[in-house]
Amino acid sequence: MPEGKDEESPATEAVAGVVTLVTLLAGFGLLALGWPYFWVAFPVGFGGLLPAGVAVAKWYAAGSEGKGDSVTPELEAALAELRERYARGEVDEMEFERRVERLLETESVAAAEDAYGNEEPALDGPERGRSVQRDRETERS
């Protein structure tokens, strides 16, 4: 893809195709009916409806993109903390993957805790106490 060139979304291409088809059908339909001002359909369709339809499709697609893939600062912080805990060896790979999936399935960290509870991995001895204390400090901040 060349630099600076925007790739069109399927919705934008579909809207452009439909508006083009409707404009051509209206213009040539009016010509076939013998209407003397049939040509007005072309500037109205291609000069007005097509740019407006494409702009609306792009606006809608831009609004839809952000909704499904947005990562809130709260979620990003939770993922960073989970990565750090995995790097320190406090959680194993299976636990790490399970928690990441749960965080990404829900809309927020609070929703993940509500849905799945605030489960801790099975840690023994003093490591368990440090992990719980660190989690409490993270919740306060």
pLDDT of residue 51: 93
Average pLDDT of the chain? 77
| Residue ranges per structural domain of the chain | 10-69, 73-140
Q: What is the pLDDT of residues 108-137, one digit of tens each?
A: 666 666 666 655 544 444 444 445 555 555
91, 82 in Cβ contact below 8 A? yes
What span, in angstroms and rounded, lies between the C-alpha atoms of 26 and 36? 13
Secondary structure class of 113 (helix, strand, coil): helix
What DSSP designation does 47 have? I
* Sequence-ordered list of residues with C-beta below 8 angstroms from that of 79, at least 6 positions apart, any chain: 71, 100, 103
Q: Dig out the tokens for 107 from the structure.
A: 């809309």
